[in-house]
């Protein structure tokens, strides 16, 4: 009996070892996966950025268009990962007129572009063009992560333009319970030296920081892949996400300087002390219908960083939803299709018909 048990254990171990080796081979030489494939047209370009307008799939399309604003350092297609795993695709099916801001990839010449420029010039021009194309007077904005912080600032400047505001794991209080809040303190992190030496902050530096936030995550992902190599859908989804995770882009130096200094180090935004484009950001000026979505397991934007916004705005209608997910899985993982997409679709659709 003991020998049979030892043999079975040895066989199981060898099989597991082969699966891990196969998973490692795939990670080191990943298969090509198409991402961001939902049909669209480019309706605006400025410097590196583009605005995509997705082609409708329903006969009736809402008169209030929706602009999705991702973080400046991540590619937009996490919101349109692949068929069946695309928030864009789902919202199109709900009759929403969906636009996407693709920030593009900044070059070394863009190191002088400021945080203020990205909001008061780029984002403002995008919204103006979106209104022109859709012939709408008011719009909905959905900001993801840092993109949510930017849309919050924009909505405070243009409360008569932004009808609906959705913040998705978007930090507002930067002195929160997360490690990023600790690591970026002035006594630990000299942002001026980083920008003065590097100019644009390179992707590998930022990616290294995010990896250190959850250092065992790389190992756990490998184990999950090894355990599900037989599941083609899982494997395709895994490598679609890995494509996005490894497709980070530089953070323009001057924009990074202000973002770190004013947000993380001084925490000016939630105190109504931040100046953008020479104008004080007063969150009480936000009157848009507001939906705040946070992720309970978020290690980048803890829930307390995002949900504080409900107490800082003047919106008559506001709602907070905290989902059992992490920062990325909330938009494209299993929780996304089960919880986020229906809740988001219902909320936007109900507020996208009346001008």
Which of the residues 117, 270, 298, 301 is marked catalytic?
Answer: 298
- Number of CB atoms found within 10 A of residue 152's CB: 28
Q: Determine the straight-line distance between the first and last CA of the chain, rounded to whole angstroms.
A: 76
From the candidates 80, 102, 110, 145, which is the catalytic residue? 145
Q: Is 327 marked active-site?
A: yes
CB proximity list for 239: less than 8 A, separation 6 or greater: 26, 30, 31, 33
- Catalytic status, residue 40: no
- Active site annotation includes 270: no
Which residues are CB-contacts of 259 (< 8 A; sequence separation ≥ 6)?
Answer: 115, 146, 251
Close Cβ partners of 223 (under 8 Å, ≥ 6 residues apart): 20
Return the number of other C-beta atoms located less than 10 Å from residue 136's C-beta. Answer: 19
Phi and psi angles of residue 276, each rounded to the nearest 5 degrees, phi first: -135, 120
* Residue 220 exposed, middle or buried by CB count within 10 Å (0-12, 13-18, 19+): exposed
Residue 61's alpha-carbon distances to 55, 64, 94, 347, in angstroms, are: 10, 9, 9, 15
The helix/strand/coil state of 52 is strand
Beta-strand pair 162-168/139-144: parallel
The catalytic residues are 145, 298, 327
């Amino acid at each position: 009996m003991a020998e049979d048990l030892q043999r079975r254990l040895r066989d199981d171990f060898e099989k597991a070892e082969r699966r891990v080796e196969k998973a490692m081979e795939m990670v080191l030489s990943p298969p090509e996966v198409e991402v961001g494939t939902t049909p669209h047209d480019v309706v605006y370009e400025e410097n590196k950025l583009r605005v995509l307008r997705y082609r409708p799939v329903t006969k009736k399309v809402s008169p209030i268009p929706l602009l999705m604003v991702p973080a400046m350092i991540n590619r937009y297609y996490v919101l349109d990962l692949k068929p069946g795993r695309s928030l864009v695709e789902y919202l199109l099916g709900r009759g929403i007129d969906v636009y996407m801001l693709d920030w593009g990839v900044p070059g070394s010449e863009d190191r002088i572009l400021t945080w203020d420029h990205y909001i008061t010039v780029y984002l403002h021009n995008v919204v103006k063009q979106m209104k022109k194309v859709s012939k709408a007077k008011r719009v909905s904005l959905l900001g993801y992560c840092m993109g949510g912080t930017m849309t919050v600032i924009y909505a405070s400047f243009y409360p008569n333009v932004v009808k609906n505001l959705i913040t998705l794991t978007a930090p507002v209080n930067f002195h929160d319970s997360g490690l990023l809040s600790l690591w970026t303190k002035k006594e630990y992190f000299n942002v001026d030296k980083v920008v003065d030496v590097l100019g644009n902050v390179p992707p590998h530096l930022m990616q290294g920081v995010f990896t250190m936030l959850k250092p065992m995550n790389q190992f756990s992902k490998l184990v999950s892949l090894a355990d599900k190599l037989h599941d083609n859908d899982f494997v395709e989804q895994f490598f679609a996400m890995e494509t996005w995770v490894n497709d980070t882009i530089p953070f323009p130096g001057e924009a990074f300087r202000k973002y770190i200094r004013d947000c993380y180090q001084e925490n000016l935004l939630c105190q109504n002390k931040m100046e953008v484009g020479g104008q004080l950001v007063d969150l009480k000026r936000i009157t848009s219908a507001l939906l705040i979505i946070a992720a309970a397991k978020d290690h980048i934007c803890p829930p307390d960083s995002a949900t504080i916004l409900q107490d800082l705005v003047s919106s008559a209608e506001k709602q907070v939803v905290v989902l059992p997910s992490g920062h990325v899985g909330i938009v494209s993982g299993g929780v996304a299709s089960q919880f986020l997409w229906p809740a988001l679709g219902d909320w936007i659709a109900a507020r996208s018909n009346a001008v």
